[in-house]
Amino acid sequence: MTKAELIEKVSKSVSKSTKKEVSKKQVDATLKEAFETIRKTVKKEGRCSYPGFGTFTLTKRKARKGRNPQTGETIKIKASKSIRFKPSSVLKKTL
């Protein structure tokens, strides 16, 4: 599903349930704010959970040695941060 398809579906669903027209622009702004809030929360607190959906967590990878597959040369890979998502059991059951 693309961003445009997501916005379209959410716009139709909200309009149908509230019986008021909700523009795609409003839905886009709301989704942007929701994802930005999740990003900020994970960055600050290391975790963001939404019951019935899942949990986003910040993970840290240590620096390590790697190998260039073309030359076989050993290289250093810097430490990095990443985000992981663990779906809730409720979400898993619905799949």
What is the CATH classification number for the domain harbouring 80? 4.10.520.10
Which candidate, 22, 29, 21, places its Cα nearest to that of 3?
Answer: 29
11: helix, coil or strand?
helix
Stronger pLDDT, 84 or 18, i.e. the higher one: 84
Confirm if 88 and 54 have CB atoms less than 8 A apart: yes
Number of domains in the chain: 1
pLDDT of residue 83: 94
- With bands split at pLDDT 50, 70 and 90, how would you rate the model's confidence at 18? confident
Instruction: Give the structural domain span for 86.
Output: 3-94
Average pLDDT, the chain: 94
Among positive and negative, which fits the CA dihedral 8, 28, 20, 14?
positive
- With bands split at pLDDT 50, 70 and 90, how would you rate the model's confidence at 3? very high
